[in-house]
Amino acid sequence: MAVRVPRDLLTRDPAVIAPLAGLRYLPPEPPGWTRRRRGRGFSFVDEHGTTITSPDRDRLVDLAVPPAWEDVWFAPIADGYLQATGVDDAGRKQYRYHDDYRAVCEARKFDRIRYFGRALPALRTYIEQSLAAPPGSKRLAVGAVLGVIDAALLRIGNEQSAEDGHHGATTLAADHVDDDGHVVLEYVAKSGKHRSVVIDDEQLGDVMRSLADADDERLFSYTDADGDVRNVTAIDVNAVIADVAGPAFSAKDFRTWGGSRTALEARADGLSSIASIDATAEALGNTRTVARNSYVHPDVLDAPDDEIDRVWRASRRSSTMSRGDSALVKLLGR
């Protein structure tokens, strides 16, 4: 059953969110400002080609847009929610948002994650049932992707990153599975770091072995009604999540939930807040800063030790929730 989330948390439209941060919505379209190569650095010009001077120039410099970016666009206003865009050396569109906009988006994400724990039992029931679906079916393949994202806290993946050699769940290949008595995923993540992730779930491991033994290029693929082999996409996975859990959630929420749960479990073991962030960073393959800012709910770090102890003692494991999951639901539901 889909989880009801306050309507104001459902939108991800920057035109709606920007005013919440006290900013203006200005799409990255002309007219805008840009930069031109000048010696070892850059000069900045407005839409008329006039050189931009301080204090506006200082703002553009502080954005620290990498020198390799091409087709750079700068917002001509300091209070625009989006401050710069460009194309990196891999051909990907990149964005620089206003700090206040990012802060509001992070806060809204953590507000939504309070509700995600309530959706986990239904999602995990779906995963378990999917892993028993017929071989070659879309239900089996999508369920297996969800199972891996939940168990290993992988990013969902996309084609552009896969072309660059960086993989998420949907773009894993059979040769990323090392079956030496247990299933281990060996791959290069979005960060560029090599990751080795053990899949402990026996049912999921068995399905992944069978998928890896198939002749398909991608690990998670299926045969459609016309007999054609299709790869599972992020759209497929997020559509299932929206159907089972509700439109407020996506695959990204598994990673945020898992990061927060890892930090809570570490604190329940007596570790400090900083050490719990390090545990999350290790589990996700991130830096301490990224883990703290993007993947650990502030309540987990701010709660006093006696509150962590209270929710931990009051929590139990169930068929669909670990003790850490249950404790996090209690902590965030205070």
Residue 255 confidence class, pLDDT cut points 50, 70, 90: very high
- List, for residues 66-111, the tens digit of each pLDDT value: 999 999 999 999 999 999 999 998 888 999 999 999 999 999 999 9
- Lowest-confidence segment of 124-128, 184-188, 198-202, 327-331 by average pLDDT: 184-188
Domains of the chain, first to last: 34-97 (3.30.66.10), 131-245 (3.90.15.10), 252-332 (1.10.132.120)
- List, for residues 138-165, the tens digit of each pLDDT value: 999 999 999 999 999 999 987 776 666 7
Distance CA 175, CA 212 (A): 7
Distance CA 237, CA 311 (A): 32
- List, for residues 216-227, the tens digit of each pLDDT value: 788 999 999 999
Q: Judge whether residue 181 has pLDDT over 60.
A: no
Q: How far is CA 150 from CA 22, 61, 117, 187, 208, in A?
A: 35, 40, 12, 17, 14
- List, for residues 27-42, the tens digit of each pLDDT value: 878 789 999 999 989 9
Best CA proximity match to 274, nearest among 298, 304, 311, 301: 301
| Residue-level pLDDT at 190 | 63
Name residues whose C-beta falls within 8 Å of residue 77's C-beta, 6 or more positions apart in sequence. 24, 26
Sequence length of the chain is 334
